[in-house]
Chains A and B, each alone.
Chain A
Amino acid sequence: MIQLLISRFGGLPATILKIALLSVVNALAIWAIPAMASNGSWVMMAFIVVATIALDYLLLTKRFIPAKYVVIGAIFLTAFQIIPIIFTIFIAFTNYSTGNIGTKPDAIEAIVRDSVTESDNSQSYDMLPATNASDDLVLILTPQAAVEETPAVVPGESTDPGTTEFGGEESSPPAEFGGEESSPPAEFGGEESSPPAEFGGEESSPPAEFGGVETPAPSASSDVTSGTDDLNVASDTEPSSLPPTYIGTSEGLDEIPVSDVTRDEFGTVTEVTGFPVIPDTELPAYDAEISAMRVPGPNGGYISPQGYTTAIELTPTLEYDEATDTFTSVQTGDVYVDAGRGAFVNETDPEDSLEPGWRETVGFENFTSVFTDPQIRDPFISVFVWTFVYAMLSVLLTFVLGLSLAVVLNKEGMKGQRIYRSLLIIPYAVPAFLSILVWGGLLNDDFGAINTVTGWTIPWLFDPFWAKVSILLVNLWLGFPYMFLVSTGALQAIPAELQEAARVDGARNFQVWRMINMPLLLVALTPLLIASFAFNFNNFNNIYLLTGGGPSMEGSEVAGATDILISYTFKIAFSAGEGNDYGLASAISIYIFFIVGTISLISFSRSKALREERP
C-alpha cells in the first residue's frame, strides 16, 4: 500500500511538496545565519550558506538523479555523526573544563574586572549622574557617613572546624533563634489540637504585601528616592558637619563650593549648579557609560559606580601588563605569567593560578593522563575487565534466554501462542528508565520486595559481588524480549524444507538444530549480537540508575564496583574532580570508541568468514 503510494506519487503534488519542504529548509537557514553571525560561528555559517545553495540547485535541476538521494543522506550523516565526532576529537586535545571554558581575552577581562577589592578605608559615595558643560557624563559624589555596625564576620583561624556560622546565639533575635533549646518545641498538625486559622490562613490568603494591601507599583522615580533613603544612613542635617560634594570625572575628584550645592531636608544632594542632573527616566540610556566610569579616588583606588545612586572606592589587587602579558599582584609583587596551560600562573608557585583560565590546546595530555594519573589508572584495569564481563554476559544471557523462549514458543499449533509472545514483550515495552528504578526498589536489601517476600538476606546492592549480579539480572530482564523477538523472526525465516531434508537424511532433532537451525540463525543474528554488545558496553543508564556505580570499591575513590567504562568516565569527568572536565571525557570516549570499534570489526569479519564457509 505504502509502496504503491510512493511509486505513484509525482507530478504537481510532488513538486509542490518539494518546494514547500525546500522553502522550510531555506527559511531555517536564513533564520540561522544572523544567529550564527552574532555568535561568531563563521565556519558553521559559511557551511550552512554553501550547503543550502548547493541543495537548492541539486533538487531543482533535472540532472544528477542519484545525487539527489545520496547527498541528502550524506547531509544527515554529517550533521548527526561526523560533526559531533569532529568536535569530540577537537575537545579531547584541549583543556576544556570548569575554569577553562572561554577565550584568553575573556579571561583577561574577567580577571581585571574582578581583581578589585574594598580597602579598609574604602569610602562609599552617594552618587548623582549629571552632565557637564560639554554634555559629558560626570558623577556628583557625596561621601557617605560611616555606618555604625558590628564588624563583618571574621572567620576563625585555620583550625576552626566550621567556616562561618549562621546566626550565632548572641546576634540572632531571641524570638526566632534563641529559645529553641530551653522551651519545648511547638507541635504542628493534628486534627483538633491546632487552630485552623494558623495553617489554613497562610495557605489560602497570600501575605499582605504580596496580595497588594500595601500600595504597590512605585514609579521608577520614587523607587530611586526610597533607595537613596535607605542607603544614605545617618546623614546629618547640620550644615556645618555636611560632607563635601565632588564632581567626579575620569580625571579625578573636584570639590564644589557649598554655595553651588542644593540639598533636600535630609541633607541629600539634589542639584549642583552648572551640572544638570540626568533625569531618572534618561538614566537607562547612560547605563553603559555609568558602569564604565572610573574616577580616580583619594586613597589610590578608583571610585566605581554601583548602580545609579551609589559608588565605592575600590583598589585593584592585580595589574595587567599588556606588553609582557603578565599580571602583577599589587600587594605581594608576585608575577603571574601565561605558562601555555590556559591560565596565568604564579612564577614562583605553580599551584597558584588565577581564575578564570581559558581553553588551550594541550596535545595528547588527556590521552596520556589515563595511563599516568594514578587516580584514573589504578581502577582502570578492574573497570575495564568488568565492562567486558558485563557486556559479554549481558549479550550471552539475554540471547540464551531469548532464544530458548523463542524455540519453545515456536512450536506449531501451540495454544495461546500469541498471548505468551505478547506477555514476554512487556519488559521491552515499559520504559527502561522506569523498570530500572523499580528494580532498584525491589532489590533494596532490607526494605525491598525480593528479600522481604523470600526471607533471603542477600545484600543485592550493597555487596560488590551481588551488586554485579543485580546489574546482570536487571539487564537480563530488560534485554531478553529483544533477543526473543529477533530469534523468533529468524527461526520463522528458516525454510522448513531444509529441516525436512535433514530428517530424510536421518538426522535426529538435536542434529537438525545443531547443523541446520543454529548456523542459519547465527548468520542472521550475529550482527545484532555485535550491536547488542556495543550497546551494553556503553549502557550507562542501567548502571547509573540502578547502583550509581556503587558500592564503593576497596582502594578506589572514584570507581565503584559496578562502574563500567562509560559511567566511570562520567564520574571522572563530571563529578569526582574539580568541576567538569570535558577534555578528559572526550579523550576517554575516543578510547571507548576504538575499543568498541575494534571488537565490532573483528566480530564482523569473523561472522563474514562464517557465512562464506557455506556453499
Chain B
Amino acid sequence: MRRSLRAIVATSAVAAVAFGSLLAVPAAQAADNKIVIWTDADRAPAIRYLFPNGYKGVPVEVVVKPFEELRDSLSKVTADAAPDVAIGANDWVGELAANGVIVSINLASSAAAGLEAGAVQAFNYNGKQYGTPVAVENIALITNANLIKKQPTTFADLSSQALALKKAGKVTIPLAVQQGSGGDAYHMYPLFSGLGGYIFGTTAKGAYNTKDIGIYNKTFAANSKLIDTWNSTGLINSKVTGDIAKAAFLAGKAPFWITGPWNLSDIKATKNLKYRITAVPPIVSGIKPVPFVGSQGFMLTKYAAAHGVESAARSLVSEYMTTEKAQYNLSAVNDRFPANKAAAARVTNPQLKAFGAAGSGGIPIPNISQMNSVWGPLGSAWVSSTRGPGAIPAAKAFAQAQGAVKKAIG
C-alpha cells in the first residue's frame, strides 16, 4: 500500500514537471503577430534576405516545405499552423479557391502592368485574381550543337536532320520527348499546339469554356496524319521515358530534347556538350508551336485575417511581391524566369533568357479543376499513337481522347 502511494506521488511529480514545461512553450510562441510564409527551399534564402526586419513592422517567419507538398497541405492545415502567405503554382489556384483557402487580391493596375500579362492571367480564376506571379517556366527545344550544325527552322528540317543521324547510326533517339506508358501531355504540348490542338476555349468573359474542348478540333484533325508519319519513321516514340531521354541527350545519342530549365544543371555539367535553346520550330505553316507556361506566385490565405495580419500580408502579396527587387532576388536563387518585366530584363543568365524566349507565346496551364480530367486521356492518345509498330492512328486516338475528356467533365 505504501509503495502504491509513493508511486502515485512520483507520477504526479513527473507529470507536473512535464505539464509546466509544455505549457511554457506555447505561451512563449504566442507573443506577437507575424506573417508566416510557406515556401520551397530554393526561395527561402531570398525571402529571408528581403525581409530582414519583417514587412511593414510585422515580423516575417519563413516555413520551408517541399514545393509539391504545399498544395495538399494548404487545404488540410489547421488554423494554428496555417500560413498567411504561400507560394504555389498557377494550376493549383482553381482547387485552392474552390476550397476557399486562398483569398482574392487586387493588383494595382500600375503593378500589374509591370508583370507578364499571361502570368497574371494564369492566377486569375473565375474572373478574380488569386495571386501574384513571381516566376514563369516552360520547356524548350534543346539542340546538340555538336551534332546539328545548322539549327532547323522548320519541323520538317528538324525531322530530316534527326532521322538522317539515326540512319547513319550516330544517334538512337531522333527527338527525345519524355512519355513512358503513362503518357506526358505536358511535354508533348508544343507538338500538340503546333498541330493546331488546344485544350479549352475561352468564354467572352475570359473564363475557360469547358464545353469547348479542342483536343480533336478540325485543324488538329487535318494535321494529325503527321503524327502517324512521326511514328512510322521513328521520330517520336512513346517508350522514351524521362530518364531515357535525359541519358540519351547527355550521352550525345539524341540530337534534340524537349525539356525544361530544371535539367539545366545536368546539361551544364556535361563535358564537351554544345547546345542551343530554342522554341520548337513551326510544324505546319501559320501555327506557332507553343509550350505550356507554368507560373509560380504568392497567394494570400484566408488564415491571415484570423491571425490579425491580413493588411500587411495582403500588401506583401499584392504590392511588394510585384516589385522588381523582390522578383529579381527570387529569380536569382532558383533559376526561374521572373514574371516582372523589369526584373526579367536584368536576367543575365543566357540560358534562362533563352528559355524565356522559347516560352514566348506560350499559354498558361489551365487552372480549373477540370484540367485533372485532361492529362490522362491526352497523354494516352500520344502514347498509343506513337508506340511504334502496333500504334493506332492518331486521328482515332485523339478523337477518343476528346470523347473521354468530354465524358469525364460531363
B374 CB to nearest A CB, Å: 10
CB contact between A186 and one of B98, B354, B389 (< 8 Å): that residue = B354
Task: Tell which of A26-34, A363-371, A405-413, A481-489 binds the partner.
Answer: A26-34
Residues of A near B241 (CB, < 8 A) are: 441, 444
- Closest chain-A Cβ to B97's Cβ sits at a distance in Å of 7
One of A101, A224, A306 near B314 (C-beta < 8 A): A306
Which residues in A have their C-beta under 8 angstroms from that of B204? 157-158
Whether B390 contacts A463 by the Cβ 8 Å rule is: yes
| 0/1 string, B334-367, CB within 8 A of A gives 1 | 0000000100110011110110111111111010
A107 an interface residue at 8 Å Cβ cutoff?
A: yes
Q: For A291, give its contact among B54, B117, B267, B314 (CB under 8 Å).
A: B314
When distances are taken between beta carbons in the complex, the residues of chain B under 8 Å from A165 are: 118, 290, 361-363
Query: Bound complex: CA of A444 vs CA of B311, how far in Å?
Result: 55
B407 interface hit (Cβ, 8 Å) = yes
Nearest-CB residue, chain A, relative to B387: A462
Taking the nearest CB of chain B, how far is it from the CB of A124, in angstroms?
A: 6
A551 touches B383 (CB 8 A): yes
Query: For the complex, is B373 an interface residue (Cβ under 8 Å from A)?
Result: yes
Beta-carbon contact of A60 and B239 below 8 Å: no
Chain B residues whose C-beta falls within 8 Å of the C-beta of A206 in the assembled complex: 332
- Nearest Cβ in chain A — how far from B69, in angstroms? 15
Cβ-closest chain A residue relative to B309: A287
- Chain B, residues 241-267, CB within 8 Å of chain A (1/0): the string is 101100000000000000000000001
Chain B residues with Cβ below 8 Å from A187 are 145, 274-276
Instruction: Assess the A459–B390 pair: CB atoms within 8 A.
Output: yes
Residues of B within 8 Å of A160, CB to CB, are 201-202
Q: Does A447 contact B (CB under 8 A)?
A: yes
Which chain A residues lie closer than 8 Å to B237 at the CB level? Answer: 446
How many residue pairs bridge A and B at CB < 8 Å?
A: 397
Tell me if A153 is interfacial: C-beta within 8 Å of chain B.
yes
CA of A224 to CA of B58 in the docked complex: distance in angstroms? 12
Looking at the assembled complex, report how far the CB atom of B8 sits from the nearest CB atom of chain A, in whole angstroms. Answer: 6
A584 on the B face (CB < 8 A):
no
A216 touches B201 (CB 8 A): no
Partner of B345, one of A24, A176, A310: A176
B181 touches A307 (CB 8 A): no
Q: Which residues of chain B are near A447, meaning CB under 8 Å? A: 239-240, 244
Q: In this assembly, does B285 line the interface, its C-beta being within 8 Å of a C-beta of chain A?
A: no
Contacts of B46 in A (CB 8 A): 210
Residue of B with least CB distance to A219: B53
Q: Residue A84 at the B interface, CB < 8 A?
A: no
* Interface size of A as a range: 35 or more
Q: In the complex, which of the residues A163, A227, A547 contacts B121, with contact meaning CB atoms closer than 8 Å?
A: A163
Q: Decide yes or no: A462 and B126 within 8 Å by CB, A180-B357, A284-B58, A307-B312 being known contacts.
A: no
Of the candidates B117, B183, B405, the one having the most CB atoms from chain A within 10 angstroms of its own CB is: B117
User: Do residues A23 and B15 form an inter-chain contact, with CB atoms below 8 A?
Assistant: yes
Among candidates B11, B54, B208, B373, residue contacting A56 with C-beta atoms closer than 8 Å: B11
Task: Say yes or no: A188 contacts B75, CB within 8 Å.
Answer: no
Are A462 and B181 neighbours in the complex by a CB distance under 8 Å? Answer: yes
- State how many angstroms separate the Cβ of A368 from the closest Cβ of chain B: 17
* Chain B nearest CB, measured from A225 CB (Å): 11
Residue in contact with B128 in the complex, picked from A27, A39, A117, A219, CB distance below 8 Å: A117
Q: How far is A155 from B207 in the complex, measured between Cα atoms in Å?
A: 9
Give the interface segment out of B101-109, B160-168, B225-233.
B101-109
Tell me whether A113 is interfacial, beta carbon within 8 Å: yes
Which of B276, B311, B344 is A185 in contact with, Cβ under 8 Å?
B276
Instruction: Tell me if B170 counts as interface (CB < 8 A to partner A).
Output: no
Q: Does B198 contact A (CB under 8 A)?
A: yes
**Stretch touching chain B among A75-83, A190-198, A591-599:** A190-198
Task: Give the distance in Å from the alpha carbon of A578 to the alpha carbon of B409 in the complex.
Answer: 8
Contact with B354, one of A157, A185, A199 (Cβ below 8 angstroms):
A185
Q: Is A356 an interface residue (CB 8 A)?
A: yes
B277 interface residue, CB < 8 Å from A? yes
Inter-chain contact A23/B56, CB cutoff 8 Å: no
Inter-subunit contact B308/A155 (CB<8 Å):
no
Inter-chain contact B357/A176, CB cutoff 8 Å: yes
How far, in Å, is B153 (CB) from chain A's closest CB?
A: 8
| Cross-chain contact A578 with B369 (CB below 8 angstroms) | yes
Collect the chain B residues with CB atoms within 8 Å of residue A191's CB: 271-272
Residues of B within 8 A of A216 (CB): 49, 52
**A163 with B79, Cβ < 8 A, contacts A284-B312, A355-B126, A557-B405 known:** no
CB-based contact A188/B351 at 8 Å = yes
B410: nearest chain-A partner, CB-CB: A375
Which A510-552 residues have a C-beta within 8 angstroms of B?
547-548, 550-552
A-B contact pairs, 30 of them (CB 8 A): A98-B95, A101-B99, A110-B302, A114-B104, A118-B106, A147-B110, A161-B214, A163-B363, A163-B366, A166-B293, A166-B362, A167-B359, A176-B357, A185-B276, A188-B277, A209-B328, A209-B329, A233-B110, A280-B57, A287-B310, A355-B126, A441-B241, A441-B243, A459-B390, A462-B239, A462-B390, A547-B182, A550-B181, A552-B380, A571-B376
Beyond A190-B145, A447-B244, 6 extra complex contacts between A and B, CB < 8 Å = A113-B302, A161-B197, A166-B364, A189-B275, A287-B312, A462-B238
Which 7 residue pairs across A and B have the least CB separation, nearest first? A307-B315, A557-B404, A27-B18, A166-B118, A110-B100, A161-B198, A356-B100
